[in-house]
Amino acid sequence: MKEILLNDNWLFHKENEVEGCVTLPHTYNAVDGQSGISMWRGNGFYKKEVLFSEEDLKEKIFVIFAFLVSIGFTLYGMIPTLFSGDLNILHVLSIIMSIFGFIGTWTLAIQWQHTFKANGVQNVAGILVAGIQGVYGEMFKSCYYLSTEFIGHYNWKKRRNDNGELVVDKKFSLKDVLIAVFFWTFGLGFISYWMGGQKIVLDAITNGLSFTAQQRQVKGHLDGYYIWLVVDLLSFILYLSIGNPIVAFSYLGMVAQGFVGIIIWKKSQGQ
């Protein structure tokens, strides 16, 4: 994440007199008592001009647009059910999953250390939703996610530098990704088939990719985000096909969040 320090080169204005450049933190009357004059009281203000490049401006506009898109899709999935007055346990759990999924993915993008707590709540709701709807690959995926939240919290702490910034691994390991996708997909497909689940092929492919993306990201790998983009689109199709628009549209909103995450993680310190 790009850090911009704003402490230096501020202009302090005392009444109508320009005092010149100061560095924050600054106390305007700190030496009045030492110099033998009375302590000054009056109106004053600080002023600083900050210039952003055109690239920075475009990036900020895109982040705002992505945020509005993601919250729009999330609300679009929830509002019809909320206003229908026909709430059941599946609806309530789906709404919890959607809200905490929104919080978790955005805090993951900005590399907030406590993102794993928000994602943990989403995982618990996800286990119950998937179990009720018979998509067992999704259910075991959420169980796996829940366990990796603790691992991710520990790994991220280790990967932070002295300034508290997350050091991102920007190398793309195609071999590791393909091996993980292969084994997770067939393993989850077999479990889902054995338990008599729904949408077995789509469920297995989606969650084979999901397991891999989660595994990569909790270890600080940038390539996890590229996999997430595919996962979010497939999850949208999966949940829409089993009649859960609340969760489906929250995943569609996560696509926008994924692009923001890639932008931020690319700018992070890496190796």
What's the pLDDT at 263? 84
Q: How confident is the model at residue 160 (pLDDT cuts 50, 70, 90)?
A: confident
What's the pLDDT at 245? 93
Instruction: Count CB-CB contacts under 10 A for residue 230.
Output: 16
Residue type, 213: A
pLDDT of 74 > 80? The answer is: yes
Q: How confident is the model at residue 249 (pLDDT cuts 50, 70, 90)?
A: very high
Region 203-232 average pLDDT: 78
Percent of the chain with pLDDT over 90: 16
Lowest mean pLDDT, pick from 88-97, 99-108, 129-138, 181-190: 181-190
HEC readout, the chain: CCCCCCCCCEEEEECCEEEEEECCCCCCCCCCCCCCCCCCCCCEEEECCCCCCHHHHHHHHHHHHHHHHHHHHHHHHHHHHHHHCCCCHHHHHHHHHHHHHHHHHHHHHCCCCCHHHHHHHHHHHHHHHHHHHCCHHHHHHHHHHHHHHHHHHHHHHHCECCCCCECEECCCCHHHHHHHHHHHHHHHHHHHHHCCCCCHHHHHHHHHHHHHHHHHHHCCECHHHHHHHHHHHHHHHHHHHCCCHHHHHHHHHHHHHHHHHHHHHHHCCEC
What's the pLDDT at 36? 62
Give the dihedral of Cα atoms 33, 34, 40, 43; nearest 10 deg.
-120
Q: How confident is the model at residue 96 (pLDDT cuts 50, 70, 90)?
A: very high
What's the pLDDT at 182? 62
Region 109-114 average pLDDT: 79
Region 15-28 average pLDDT: 70
Whole-model pTM over 0.75: no
For residue 87, the Cα-to-chain-centroid distance in whole angstroms is 28
pLDDT of 204 > 70? The answer is: yes
Q: Could you tell me which residue, 208 or 180, shows the higher pLDDT?
A: 208
pLDDT of 99 > 80? The answer is: yes
pLDDT of 1 > 50? The answer is: no
pLDDT of 73 > 80? The answer is: yes
What's the pLDDT at 71? 92
Q: Could you tell me which residue, 35 or 21, shows the higher pLDDT?
A: 21
pLDDT of 37 > 70? The answer is: no
Q: Could you tell me which residue, 266 or 198, shows the higher pLDDT?
A: 266
What's the pLDDT at 208? 75
User: For 200, phi and psi rounded to 5 degrees?
Assistant: -60, -45
